């Protein structure tokens, strides 16, 4: 598990660590790690050309010290400063002693690697002044880009990109993950992430005095551990039964997709309740079908909403599910019906997971804005539900403020029916007994990984996600 830390907490931990170490030693470690990664990206040494983009803070100093190490290895290092009058003097002197040079942008030659040391966690607001042409230069160059700590132009806490921003191939992150590397546009700009251990984690854990960091990124091992494998004594009821109230005469496909993924999350059986029963059974003969939620019998969790429509029967299904005493996932039309029926949520005793995309979120909770983590947390606190805010990097927030940032996913998942698959899978993980926040985060992870797997074979449609999900689950649990 990786903790993800807001800038204020990273600063506080950094101050404590720094206090116990000789002056400059953290920066020396940072520079060493950057130089090692730069050489790995260059693939060769002598004669290679590196261009450093240097800002006026410590991010720029990191770049200059790393550049000095590269220059000592025979690499031709040029540095361009956003403001030559404000670069770190000692770091520039170190670069010069090693043979590197500070030059104006107009004289920068072709480079084999660009190092972005313009802004790190000291960034605030959109890029100003002289930084803009430097970022443009990096975008226009064919050279790969290594960003130090954070791609410049990305907000460290939210991942928002409000103007020009560096698009990195690799980001060497100092000390601890920041939210901006994992969420919003920042995830796209960061490229491959490497974290340099600067000894901050013990301090960060101590600072919060929490068993878990408030924001986490799940890794593959945790996902595998969350997927409870059935034991030899399990029957279809001990493994959990999930109910699906989705689809309608107009949208039977949503029911098929939602049921299709609900079958895969480790449950013993799926019950379907709705007007697409005929289509569901034709596609999935093992599913137990009824017309209404009331007739469906006992389940351990429900999914309600995909393709449900807005008829009086749709409202009945929603009421039936939310009136039950088992966990429920509400998606799509279910979310839209909730807008006028919020008391259905507040009256609930069991857990609820809401899975909105941005427009559905806005109808229920107001605009998402640029801080997706804050938006999901606000909605979770307000509704008392786990909120899974879909996006290129999905955010799952629990009512007490704990969050998961999903590391998997691809733009290929933005396709019709993809959300039906995610909702069904989330419901079956809930029915299998996984805690609501973890179930939602696990479903987002598997859905994203399945999307990436399916995309390897060409353009993805939602039906392709079902075999890809099976393959993903098999790869994780065997
Ligand atoms: N974490 C750790 O343990 C370690 C961290 N280390 C490193 O330190 C970095 C943080 O350094 P930092 O605090 O000096 O801030 P940094 O990001 O260089 O920027 C400050 C400058 O940017 C400017 N500026 C701000 N916004 C701007 C904008 N939108 N557009 C234009 N300019 C803008 C701002 O200008 P001002 O507002 O003052 O006019 C100021 O001059 C961190 O990311 C990591 O690389 C490692 O060395 C070792 C251990
Ligand atoms: K940077």
Q: How many Cβ atoms sit within 10 Å of the Cβ of residue 122?
A: 16
Identify the residue whose C-alpha is closest to ligand 1 atom 48. 27
Spell out the residues 6+ positions from residue 321 whose beta carbon is closer than 8 angstroms to its own: 243, 245, 293, 302, 304, 328, 330, 334
Of 412, 3, 394, whose CA–CA distance to 219 is shortest?
Answer: 3
Identify the residue whose C-alpha is closest to ligand 1 atom 13. 122
From the CA of 117, which ligand is nearest?
A: 2
Can you say how many angstroms the Cα of residue 15 is from the centroid of all Cα atoms in its chain?
Answer: 28
Ligand 1 contacts CB of residue 13 (under 6 A): no
Fold of 2-214: Rossmann fold (3.40.50)
Of 130, 166, 134, whose CA–CA distance to 148 is shortest?
Answer: 166
Question: Residue 209 above 70 pLDDT?
Answer: no
pLDDT score, position 20? 87
Mean pLDDT of 1-24: 90
| Pairwise CA distance, residues 430 & 352, whole Å | 10
Ligand 1 contacts CB of residue 171 (under 6 A): no
Q: Does residue 431 or residue 239 have the better pLDDT?
A: 431
Strand partners for 66: none
The rounded Å distance from CA 39 to ligand 2 centre is 18
Neighbour-count burial of 290, counting CB atoms closer than 10 A to its CB (0-12 exposed, 13-18 middle, 19+ buried): middle
Question: Residue 30 above 60 pLDDT?
Answer: yes
CA distances from 73 to 69, 148, 220, 438 (A): 7, 20, 37, 47
Question: Residue 136 above 90 pLDDT?
Answer: yes
Split at pLDDT 50, 70, 90, the class of 204 is confident
Q: In this structure, are residues 39 and 73 in contact, taking their beta carbons and an 8 Å threshold?
A: yes
Is 236 labelled as part of a ligand binding site? no
Looking at the chain, the whole-number percentage of residues with pLDDT higher than 70 is 96
Q: Which one-letter DSSP state was computed for residue 352?
A: E
Neighbour-count burial of 129, counting CB atoms closer than 10 A to its CB (0-12 exposed, 13-18 middle, 19+ buried): exposed
Q: Does residue 201 or residue 167 have the better pLDDT?
A: 167
Split at pLDDT 50, 70, 90, the class of 201 is confident
pLDDT score, position 234? 63
For the chain, what is the largest distance between any 2 Cα atoms, rounded to a whole number of angstroms? 81
pLDDT score, position 207? 65
Mean pLDDT of 134-153: 98
| Pairwise CA distance, residues 128 & 115, whole Å | 19
Question: Residue 206 above 80 pLDDT?
Answer: no
pLDDT score, position 143? 98
Question: Residue 230 above 80 pLDDT?
Answer: no
Q: What is the pLDDT of residues 391-437, one digit of tens each?
A: 989 999 999 999 999 999 888 898 999 999 999 999 999 999 999 99
Q: What is the pLDDT of residues 271-327, one digit of tens each?
A: 999 999 999 999 999 999 999 999 999 999 999 999 999 999 999 999 999 999 999
Domain boundaries, the chain: 2-214, 220-477
pLDDT score, position 208? 62
Is 140 labelled as part of a ligand binding site? no
Question: Residue 117 above 90 pLDDT?
Answer: yes
pLDDT score, position 368? 98
Split at pLDDT 50, 70, 90, the class of 453 is very high
From the CA of 153, which ligand is nearest?
A: 1
Identify the residue whose C-alpha is closest to ligand 1 atom 44. 59
pLDDT score, position 238? 73
pLDDT score, position 275? 97
Is 261 labelled as part of a ligand binding site? no
Of 337, 280, 339, whose CA–CA distance to 308 is shortest?
Answer: 337
pLDDT score, position 414? 87
The rounded Å distance from CA 152 to ligand 2 centre is 5
| Pairwise CA distance, residues 107 & 115, whole Å | 17
Mean pLDDT of 28-33: 95
- The token pair at 407 is 């590391």
pLDDT score, position 470? 96
Strand partners for 113: 50
31-35, 413-417, 474-478: range with highest mean pLDDT: 31-35
Question: Residue 1 above 70 pLDDT?
Answer: no
ipTM metric: 0.97
pLDDT score, position 367? 98
pLDDT score, position 382? 97
pLDDT score, position 278? 97
Identify the residue whose C-alpha is closest to ligand 1 atom 46. 27
Mean pLDDT of 169-191: 96
Mean pLDDT of 213-225: 93
**Given this structure, which CATH class describes domain 220-477?**
alpha beta
């Amino acid at each position: 598990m990786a903790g993800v830390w807001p800038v204020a907490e990273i600063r506080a931990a950094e101050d404590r660590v720094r206090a116990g170490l000789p002056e400059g030693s953290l920066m020396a470690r940072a520079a060493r790690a950057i130089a090692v990664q730069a050489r790995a990206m260059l693939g060769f040494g002598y004669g290679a050309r590196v261009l450093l983009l240097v800002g006026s803070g410590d991010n720029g100093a990191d770049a200059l010290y790393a550049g000095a190490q590269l220059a000592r290895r025979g690499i031709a290092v040029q540095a361009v400063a956003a403001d030559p009058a404000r670069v770190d003097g000692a770091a520039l002197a170190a670069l010069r002693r090693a043979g590197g040079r500070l030059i104006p942008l107009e004289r920068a030659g072709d480079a084999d690697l660009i190092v972005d040391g313009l802004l790190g966690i000291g960034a605030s607001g959109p890029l100003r002044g002289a930084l803009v042409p430097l970022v443009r230069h990096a975008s226009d160059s064919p050279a790969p880009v290594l960003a130090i700590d954070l791609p410049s132009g990305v907000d460290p806490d939210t991942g928002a990109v409000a103007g020009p921003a560096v698009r990195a191939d690799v980001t060497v992150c100092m000390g601890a993950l920041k939210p901006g590397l994992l969420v919003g546009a920042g995830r796209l700009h960061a490229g491959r992430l490497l974290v340099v251990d600067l000894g901050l984690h013990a301090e960060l854990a101590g600072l919060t005095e929490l068993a878990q960091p408030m924001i986490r990124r799940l890794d593959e091992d945790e996902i595998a551990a969350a997927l409870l494998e059935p034991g030899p004594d399990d029957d279809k009821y001990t493994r959990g039964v999930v109910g699906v109230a989705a689809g309608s005469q107009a949208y039977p496909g949503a029911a098929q997709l939602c049921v299709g993924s609900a079958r895969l999350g480790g449950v013993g059986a799926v019950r379907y309740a709705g007007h697409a029963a005929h289509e569901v059974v034709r596609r999935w003969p093992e599913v137990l079908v009824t017309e209404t939620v009331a007739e469906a019998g006992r389940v351990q969790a429900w999914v309600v909403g995909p393709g449900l429509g807005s008829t009086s029967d749709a409202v009945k299904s929603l009421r039936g599910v939310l009136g039950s005493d088992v966990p429920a996932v509400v998606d799509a039309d279910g979310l839209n019906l909730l807008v006028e029926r919020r008391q259905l949520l507040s009256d609930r005793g069991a857990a609820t997971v809401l899975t909105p995309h941005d427009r559905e979120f806005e109808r229920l909770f107001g605009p998402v804005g640029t801080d997706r983590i804050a938006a999901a947390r606000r909605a979770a606190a307000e509704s008392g539900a786990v909120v899974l805010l879909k996006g290129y990097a999905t955010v799952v927030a629990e009512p007490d403020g704990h969050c998961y940032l999903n590391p998997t996913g691809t733009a290929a998942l933005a396709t019709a029916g993809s959300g039906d698959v995610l909702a069904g899978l989330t419901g079956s993980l809930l029915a299998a007994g996984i805690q609501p926040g973890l179930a939602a985060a696990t479903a987002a992870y598997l859905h994203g990984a399945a999307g990436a797997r399916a995309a390897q074979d060409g353009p993805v449609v939602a039906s392709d996600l079902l075999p890809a999900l099976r393959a993903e689950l098999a790869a994780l649990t065997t």
